[in-house]
Structure 1
Amino acid sequence: MKKRVLGLFALFFALLLVSCGREDKGELTVYVGLYEDHAIRAIETFEKETGIKVSHVRMSNGEILARIRAEQNAPKASVWYGGPSDTFVQAKYEGLLKSYTSPNSSFIPDIYKDPEGYWTGIYVGSIALVSNRSWLQDVGLDIPNSWEDLLKPEYKGMVSMADPRSSGTAYTILATLVQLMGEEEAFDYLEKLNENVRSYTTSGSVPGRSVGMGETGVAIMFAHDALKFFKEGFRDLVITIPKEGTGYEIGAVAMISNGPDLEAAKTFIDWSLTKQAQEIGKHTGNFQLLTNETAISPEEAFYLTEINVIDYDHNWAGLNRAILIERWVEMVK
């Protein structure tokens, strides 16, 4: 009996030592604009490396902005992870983000980060036209390679893109056209394009699946998202860059102002800027360019130096986001 009691005491003591070794490293809630597969792998890796427990909610960029705005008096999340920086810029000037300059931001070129530390770029991706080869053959059209091609009558009801109110992708398209053409000419173009658009989706990636399944003929979306769908089996997809020029996103990470777990948030941002963290995406079938100068981008990525990109002004796009979206909404009514 005495031996049994001593044995139980020894077991209890061992369990106590184990539990003490499992020091609580904190918890963190993250709003995510990445694909779910990318986000899950990244968060699992972060948890394993740091011991910080993370819960996340995946939304489109406009939805994340709306959520942070609604919760600003009692934020539930501390980090915004992924999605075009245009929306981060708007959030910055609304006072919704907290400045934080990570020591790892030294690995990120200045063109990919906010000079005051309110957001830092983790990837880059360009806007493209994404067509269904079989549909083009059926209707006798060449592969579209210009913005003007999408105004042809044969495209009526066969163009798909997202709604810029919810989608960071769609707002990048809108800001690209305004910067490329000028505001008046761009909205004249968008009004004509509206006649050919079948639907405006909530998410910027959904149009790619619609084209891949032959439901629509062409989508306007990020090239890396279309490449992901092609690799997943939608082999009729054809990706082209408009010859007039195209814009691009800087996918960003930022700290949410007055979030509940700011120390854990700093750790997450530090981690997200590392070479190892940024390279997780290509192992989950995501093909953005990476911003860390030591990281190796996917071989399939669309390099900005190899395509016709405009001198896209991300800060201007963010500052004018509300105005341009309001005008777009009035146009499509």
Structure 2
Amino acid sequence: MMKYKIFFTVLMAALITFTSPITSVWASDSISAYMGFSREVNEALAKQIQDKLGIEVKNITLSWGEIWARLKTESPRFNADMVLSFGASEAINGAKKGYYEAYHSPGWDGIDDAFKSKDGTYYALGTFSFLLLGNTKKLAEMGYEMPKSYKDLLDPKWKGQIVIPSPRTSGTAF
């Protein structure tokens, strides 16, 4: 099964919404998937897919950054048949590199073009908001105001005061 290119992101969400199976990938009773949701969500999706289509999904729960690193390392012989949930930049870059097979899901007919690629290589479940959060008590103790933009964080006074996810593992940290 590893010889097939990876399907991307929300393709599985689309699969759940329609009844006709996809071409040759479904010749097997199981597929493997890199999944970027929480373990609980991944397991629930895998169960839905198995119940609806009769295909076992062997899910590998990873962060977006870890999924992207694996795709780059494994190409062109991917160790998963599908990717479900990771970042827009990874979706776009992976499509440019030819990592994904196109599939035009009838479940996505009528969905705004902003949420799917024109060539059918990826689909998006939605959008994300990135927030700046601060400890109001600590800010008051230091006499600082909450930063209003990411640019504000370049001020040297914030050195050693900022916590962010590691870009090595988090797709949202790039």
Shorter-chain TM band = 0.7 to 0.9
Q: 2:140 aligns with which of 122, 128, 137?
A: 137
In the TM superposition, 1:178-257 aligns within 5 A as none
1:159: Cα distance to partner?
0.9
1:30 aligns to what SS in structure 2?
Answer: strand
1:88 aligns with 2:106: no
Q: Is the 8 A contact 2:76 2:99 kept in 1?
A: no
Structure with the bigger percentage of strand? 1
1:97: Cα distance to partner?
1.0
Q: Is the 8 A contact 2:117 2:123 kept in 1?
A: yes
Q: Which residue of 2 aligns with 1:66?
A: 69
Whole-angstrom distance in 2 between the partners of 1:82 and 1:105: 16
Q: Which amino acid aligns with 2:122?
A: W
Whole-angstrom distance in 1 between the partners of 2:48 and 2:170: 27
2:149 aligns to what SS in structure 1?
Answer: coil
**What fraction of aligned residue pairs are identical, expressed as a percent?**
27
1:159 aligns with 2:162: yes
1:100 aligns with 2:103: yes
Whole-angstrom distance in 2 between the partners of 1:158 and 1:115: 43
Whole-angstrom distance in 2 between the partners of 1:50 and 1:135: 52
Whole-angstrom distance in 1 between the partners of 2:38 and 2:137: 27
Q: Which amino acid aligns with 1:115?
A: K
Q: Which residue of 2 aligns with 1:282?
A: none
Q: Which amino acid aligns with 1:33?
A: G
Q: 2:53 aligns with which of 29, 50, 55?
A: 50
Q: Is the 8 A contact 1:25 1:51 kept in 2?
A: no
1:40 aligns with 2:43: yes
Residues 300-319 of structure 1 deviation map (CA, whole Å, 9 limit, x = unaligned) = xxxxxxxxxxxxxxxxxxxx
Residues 40-78 of structure 1 deviation map (CA, whole Å, 9 limit, x = unaligned) = 222233323333211111222232122123333433211
Q: 1:128 aligns with which of 127, 131, 134?
A: 131
Q: Which amino acid aligns with 2:154?
A: L
Q: Identify if the C-alpha distance between structure 1 residues 42 and 107 changes in structure 2 by more than 3 Å, giving closer, same or farther.
A: farther
1:127 aligns to what SS in structure 2?
Answer: coil
Whole-angstrom distance in 2 between the partners of 1:167 and 1:27: 28
1:57 aligns to what SS in structure 2?
Answer: strand
1:107: Cα distance to partner?
4.2
1:62 aligns to what SS in structure 2?
Answer: helix
Whole-angstrom distance in 2 between the partners of 1:60 and 1:92: 19
CA root-mean-square deviation: 2.3
Q: Which amino acid aligns with 2:51?
A: K
**Gap runs ≥5 in structure 2:** 1-26
Whole-angstrom distance in 2 between the partners of 1:106 and 1:59: 29
Whole-angstrom distance in 1 between the partners of 2:80 and 2:116: 21
Residues 20-50 of structure 1 deviation map (CA, whole Å, 9 limit, x = unaligned) = xxxx972121101222232222223332333
**Gap runs ≥5 in structure 1:** 1-23, 172-333
Q: Which residue of 2 aligns with 1:114?
A: 117
2:85 aligns to what SS in structure 1?
Answer: strand
Whole-angstrom distance in 1 between the partners of 2:136 and 2:43: 32
Q: Is the 8 A contact 1:164 1:170 kept in 2?
A: yes
Structure with the bigger percentage of helix? 1
Q: 1:75 aligns with which of 74, 78, 82?
A: 78
Q: Which residue of 2 aligns with 1:287?
A: none
Equivalent pairs, count:
148
Whole-angstrom distance in 2 between the partners of 1:66 and 1:148: 28
1:168: Cα distance to partner?
1.8
Tell me which structure has the larger Cα radius of gyration. Answer: 1
Whole-angstrom distance in 1 between the partners of 2:34 and 2:132: 28
Whole-angstrom distance in 1 between the partners of 2:135 and 2:41: 26
